[in-house]
């Protein structure tokens, strides 16, 4: 029997994938769609490579007695139980940037197809009709294209549309003006973009704030000649509101590659003549599939050789000191909290400060985790430990890691500080304490806390006065949101206070806005640390 590590290929992958693994591994194959065979074949392998057909749930992970790595040759990870894998000490990796060019090109293809009625004219001709005048189109030249979300894919779309002679607008609260200018894009607010754009394409991450971002109100604000494209995430476009807007002539057309529920067969929206749809083909090119396979093959090699794997979506392995490892999840969560505080202006610099005993160790992974957290709810692409620094560099955000053994009150403390384009300074601190490694929030913007980090929180900065807490409780109670815990910190002059509320369920954006207006808060931000 071979003493080589065993890699199981559960689906058809390119020859380049196998070549990238090299001769150091024993390659086995199985059919990931055959559940019985999969559970038998996964038992004695060190790594498994899958695509979208194979489901690795808790049962499959429990059957994998020596599995160290799950590699998804693609971006999505809906078919992998990541918490179960992490609990079992199994690293999960994907290929977060493998499809960005394919997705950008599909976006441009949909834009051109909509404006020139290509799909509809093709269907008509196949039906034996010759209706040239019925499918008179519109030139893209000199049209205004609004890009919602100017991340990696949004930026690639802008680069590809510029040669068409378009005027490019973009809405992205996390992008600086110099970054937009380098792409030839004019930053606007969302209202201006919706009102002016002839073509609107959305490339935002899917978060509670962006679900239904293009809904009835947005469609009403658009030109009646505008068309909408979504190749990013299902749910960013409210499909019922879109159907109504198309039927009423509020907008002229739409192209969708992603849907609220998939498979999207039997969807009434698909039957509307102004709509062009594709079955989630954003990553479905030979090139993207090959890039994804080669990328995860390299990650598998790193993992099985005991190296840090930058593309890991969890960090369950790699040469990370045992004392540093608990801080990885904390740093990522603190990064997401920082992002929630910085919605009004883009970031220009980020400092990750590690204080205490672990500062003497290699804490570079904590910087990666912090950046991953900062950008997770900012960009549409999947953020990993490898592309987070690249995203920061692309957005012209300076980053630094500072270590010091000096810390007050805790053995170790992680602080993420940021400067925004408008000069605002933000900071979030946290620590991991006790034998149960409880993650705690210890500071926000100079206010001191010691409160557990929970899945759903509400952060409020306001002028302290009687009745504030009662008002917050009443509004949340009326909305059916239970307060699981609360801590208030006051400034030294006692004029301002900062409250952190742990909630049992997310606070909807409208609810947050209502609380902000009622108590006249200077800052009101909801944070959800669950995906």
CA distance 72 to 170: 32
Count CA atoms within 13 Å of residue 294 on its CB side.
13
Answer whether 148's CB lies under 8 Å from 200's CB. yes
Q: What DSSP character marks residue 312?
A: B
Residue with tokens 């403390």: 413
Residue with tokens 């008509």: 124
Instruction: Give the chain's radius of gyration (CA, Å).
Output: 25
Is 163 buried (19+), middle (13-18) or exposed (0-12) by CB count in 10 A?
A: exposed
Q: Which residues of 88-103 are buried (b: 16+ CB within 10 A; e: fewer)?
A: bebbbbbbbbbbbbbb
Strand 227-230 vs strand 199-202: parallel, antiparallel, or unpaired?
A: parallel
CA distance 265 to 271: 11
Answer whether 13's CB lies under 8 Å from 51's CB. yes
**Structural tokens at position 62:** 């429990």
Active-site residue set: 233, 262, 280
Answer whether 455's CB lies under 8 Å from 345's CB. no
CA distance 81 to 57: 5
Q: Which ranges of 454-526 would DSSP assign to H, the alpha helix?
A: 468-478, 509-519
Strand 456-463 vs strand 523-528: parallel, antiparallel, or unpaired?
A: antiparallel
The angle that helices 100-116 and 286-304 make with each other, rounded to 10 degrees, is 160
Own/partner long-range contacts of 477-482 (Cβ < 8 Å, ≥24 apart): 479/507, 479/508, 479/511, 480/505, 481/505, 481/506, 481/507, 481/511
Length of the chain in terms of residues written: 531
**Structural tokens at position 233:** 């995430």
């Amino acid at each position: 029997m071979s003493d080589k590590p065993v890699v199981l290929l559960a689906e058809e992958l390119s020859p380049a994938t196998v070549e990238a693994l090299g001769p150091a591994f024993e390659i086995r194959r199985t059919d990931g769609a055959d559940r019985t065979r999969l559970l038998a074949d996964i038992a004695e392998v060190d790594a498994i490579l899958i695509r979208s057909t194979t489901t690795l749930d808790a049962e499959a992970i429990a059957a994998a007695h020596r599995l160290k790595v799950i590699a998804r040759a693609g971006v999505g990870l809906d078919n992998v139980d990541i918490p179960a894998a992490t609990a079992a000490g199994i690293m999960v990796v994907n290929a977060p940037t493998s499809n960005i060019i394919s997705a950008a090109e599909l976006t441009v293809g949909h834009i051109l197809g909509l404006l020139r009625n290509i799909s509809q004219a093709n269907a008509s001709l196949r039906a034996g009709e010759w209706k040239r005048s019925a499918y008179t189109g519109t030139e893209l030249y000199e049209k205004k294209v609004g890009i919602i979300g100017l991340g990696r894919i949004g930026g690639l779309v802008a680069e590809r549309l510029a040669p068409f002679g378009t005027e490019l607008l973009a809405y992205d609260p996390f992008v600086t003006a110099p970054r937009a200018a380098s792409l030839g894009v004019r930053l606007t607010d969302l209202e201006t973009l919706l009102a002016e754009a002839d073509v609107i394409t959305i490339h935002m991450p899917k978060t509670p704030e962006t679900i239904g971002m293009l809904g009835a109100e947005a469609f009403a604000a658009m030109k009646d000649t505008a068309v909408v494209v979504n190749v990013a995430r299902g749910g960013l476009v409210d499909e019922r509101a879109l159907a109504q807007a198309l039927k009423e002539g509020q907008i002229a057309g739409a192209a969708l590659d992603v849907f609220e529920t998939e498979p999207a067969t039997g969807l009434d929206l698909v039957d509307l003549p102004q709509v062009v749809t594709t079955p989630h083909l954003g990553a479905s090119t030979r090139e993207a599939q090959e890039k994804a396979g080669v990328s995860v093959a390299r990650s598998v090699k790193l993992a099985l050789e005991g190296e840090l794997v930058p593309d890991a979506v969890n960090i369950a392995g790699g040469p990370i000191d045992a004392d540093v490892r608990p801080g990885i999840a904390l740093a990522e969560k603190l990064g997401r909290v920082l992002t929630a505080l910085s919605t009004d202006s883009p970031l220009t610099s980020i400092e990750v400060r590690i204080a205490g005993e672990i500062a003497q160790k290699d804490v570079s992974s904590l910087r990666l985790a912090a950046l991953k957290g900062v950008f997770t709810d900012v960009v549409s692409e999947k953020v990993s430990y490898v592309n987070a620094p690249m995203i920061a560099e692309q957005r012209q955000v300076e980053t630094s890691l500072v270590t010091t053994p000096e810390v007050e009150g805790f053995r170790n403390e992680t602080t993420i500080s940021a400067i925004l384009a408008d000069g605002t300074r933000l900071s979030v601190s946290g620590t991991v304490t006790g034998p149960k490694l409880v993650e705690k929030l210890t500071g926000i913007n100079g206010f001191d806390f010691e409160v557990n980090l929970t899945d759903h929180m509400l952060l409020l900065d306001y002028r302290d006065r009687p009745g504030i807490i009662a008002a917050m409780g009443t509004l949340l109670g009326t909305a059916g949101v239970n307060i699981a815990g609360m801590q208030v910190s006051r400034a030294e002059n006692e004029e301002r206070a900062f409250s952190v509320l742990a909630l049992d369920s997310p606070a909807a954006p409208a609810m947050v806005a209502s609380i902000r207006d009622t108590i006249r808060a200077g800052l009101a931000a909801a944070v959800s640390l669950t995906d």
